[in-house]
Copies of this chain bind each other. A is one copy, B any other.
């Protein structure tokens, strides 16, 4: 006799895009946070550390654009990395990892690869491809390659 439904699902094309993305983001973020916990970092921190590792001296405004994070939000995230001693003090001159930051970034990358592998296995290539398709379409529209505008 059908209990109150408490599960999300529904392929209904009428679902709320924002709500769905936010929910998926929460779920997947939790998964990654759990994996990174032993290193003592969150996904957001790990992501920044790995970005800086891959491109030492990168500027905040560059990361801000690449990750589509508001510059003020990123500034505070950077202050967090600073508090933990993972990056050097002179942030206005580009971001550089400290020795410790370097070690943490490497451990993060190892973990990231494992989790990514696991996610790929469980969800399958098709799903990742589907997400990529949505993503590419959004960016394509945002870039104005279609019609005009889309904030």
Contacts and interface: CB of A to CB of B under 8 A. Distances in A.
A66 B146 CA distance: 35
Nearest to A118: B150
A123 B147 CA distance: 11
User: For this complex, into which size category does the number of interface residues on chain A fall?
Assistant: 35 or more
A interface majority secondary structure: helix
B139 A8 contact: yes
A28 interface: yes
Given A13-B128, A131-B131, A133-B127, A28 B21 contact: yes
Contact of A27 (B10, B16, B138): B138
Contacts of A103: none
Given A6-B66, A8-B135, A27-B68, 6 more contacts: A7-B65, A8-B139, A13-B120, A17-B116, A20-B131, A130-B131
